[in-house]
Amino acid sequence: MNDLDKQFFESAVARDVKTMRAALEAGANVDVVNGDRRTALMRVSKRGYEEVVEVLFEYNARVNLLDKNNKTALMGASKNNHYNIVELLLKHDAVVNQSDYRGRTALMRAAFLGHLHVVELLVENGADINIADEKGRTALMDSVIAFKVDVIKYLLTQGAQINAQDYNGVTSLMRASFGGYPELVQLLLDAGADKRIVDHENQLAIHYVRTNNFEVLKPLLKVEEQ
């Protein structure tokens, strides 16, 4: 990174639009990367600097570059709930289903943290709800683990595969049972979760319930009417 590029990069991260613009006009590389292969667009998208993002796009910043961990600007903005920036990035053709080195997408990050409006925006722009990461976990599983009920309900209305299993055979219902969330267990059962599925160790959802958690056991023990 030469001196001009360094001036540009540092001023962008410092939210100094005037200095940043001057450096770009002088020929700084808008897509220059730091030691982690992160661009200014990645850094400011994650921080929520909307006005800086807009200027970077004036100078044709590339939206889909990957850092050393295959993370994008969209992933950072989605994780930190910067709705307006997510919207901007998508308008500039951000790849919504790009995955990082662990197979995790922008949607998974937003779902796990309960950022419902960002989740909705990503899905409306083509995010695949049922993509699985390197462990076989989906956005629905992430939202169940984190007990983000609004996100869970939304994903279910959008076609999330409720009985999907990760690479250990674990389902969302099993995770909810282990977490001790009776209302979530009931929600998943009502939405079609199959309590008869077994994991790779032949364990049912009921086996995931912690000792003496009778409120979680009740819906799992209930005999369905024929």
Reported as a single tens digit per residue, the pLDDT across 184-202 is 999 999 999 999 999 999 9
pLDDT higher than threshold 90 for residue 171 = yes
- Report how far residue 8's alpha carbon sits from residue 28's, in angstroms, rounded to the nearest whole number: 6
Superfamily of domain 1-72: Ankyrin repeat-containing domain (1.25.40.20)
pLDDT of residue 225: 39
Hey, where are the domains in the chain?
1-72
Q: Residue 158: which of 119, 108, 197, 110 has the closest Cα?
A: 119
- Report how far residue 99's alpha carbon sits from residue 10's, in angstroms, rounded to the nearest whole number: 27
- Report how far residue 125's alpha carbon sits from residue 133's, in angstroms, rounded to the nearest whole number: 20
Task: Output the CA torsion 55→115→123→129 (10° steps).
Answer: 130
| pTM recorded for the entire structure | 0.92
pLDDT of residue 226: 29
Neighbour-count burial of 211, counting CB atoms closer than 10 A to its CB (0-12 exposed, 13-18 middle, 19+ buried): exposed
Q: What are phi and psi of 136, to 5 degrees?
A: 85, 10
Q: What percent of the chain has pLDDT over 70?
A: 97
Please state the rounded mean pLDDT for residues 165-182. Answer: 94
Q: Residue 150: which of 178, 127, 184 has the closest Cα?
A: 184
- Report how far residue 217's alpha carbon sits from residue 101's, in angstroms, rounded to the nearest whole number: 37
